[in-house]
Amino acid sequence: MRPTFEDGMYLKYNPNKTIWEGGWLYNISPRSTIQWFSVPNSIGWYAQGINPDGTAGNYRGNLSGAGIGLFGITHHFNKNVSIKLWEQFVENIFNTLLAEFNYMPETIQQKPVFFTGIRFITQQSIHDGGNQNQDKTYMLKGNVAYVFSGRVGLKNKR
């Protein structure tokens, strides 16, 4: 199976403890395809979900937008502690924001070491979610989703 490929511009700047990166994607070749599509036309090649009224989603080929904007900052306070902030803007369709904190010891001694992390993601529709006809939109107008997750564990040499 062929993976998804993206076409666009991407820059990464890593002056010290902070990594700045971002870009603009304007074409996508979805997995298992051999053609390139604009970003809105690359969405919906597989399952399209279900509308709130129970009917099948119908957004494939019905979305509009220019591309995907990405911006991220990762700051390493030291070798063990980092924070990430990411923004993904799918023009005219949705916006996603991610914030993440991680504590992961770099070196593992004979004893197991504790690690932890927490992540928050929010995603909201932009304008009408990709199509004025809400039966053909990717994300309903005004829709917002929130995700909180975390991890805790012990890590050893094995």
CATH, residue 145: 2.40.160.10
What is the arithmetic mean of pLDDT over 119-132?
94
What residues have CB less than 8 Å from 104, skipping those under 6 apart? 80, 82, 115, 117, 155
Name which of 122, 113, 110, 111 is nearest 149 in CA terms: 122
Per-residue model confidence (pLDDT) at position 92? 93
Helix/strand/coil percent split, the chain, to 5: 5, 50, 45
pLDDT band of residue 8 (cuts 50, 70, 90) is very high
Domain span holding position 58: 5-155
* Neighbour count for residue 92 (Cβ, 10 Å): 20
Per-residue model confidence (pLDDT) at position 105? 86
Domain count, the chain: 1
Judged against a pLDDT cut of 80, whether residue 76 lies above it is answered with yes
Per-residue model confidence (pLDDT) at position 53? 85
What is the arithmetic mean of pLDDT over 44-55?
85
Judged against a pLDDT cut of 80, whether residue 129 lies above it is answered with yes
Judged against a pLDDT cut of 90, whether residue 144 lies above it is answered with yes
Per-residue model confidence (pLDDT) at position 40? 92
The CA distance from 120 to 13, in Å, is 24
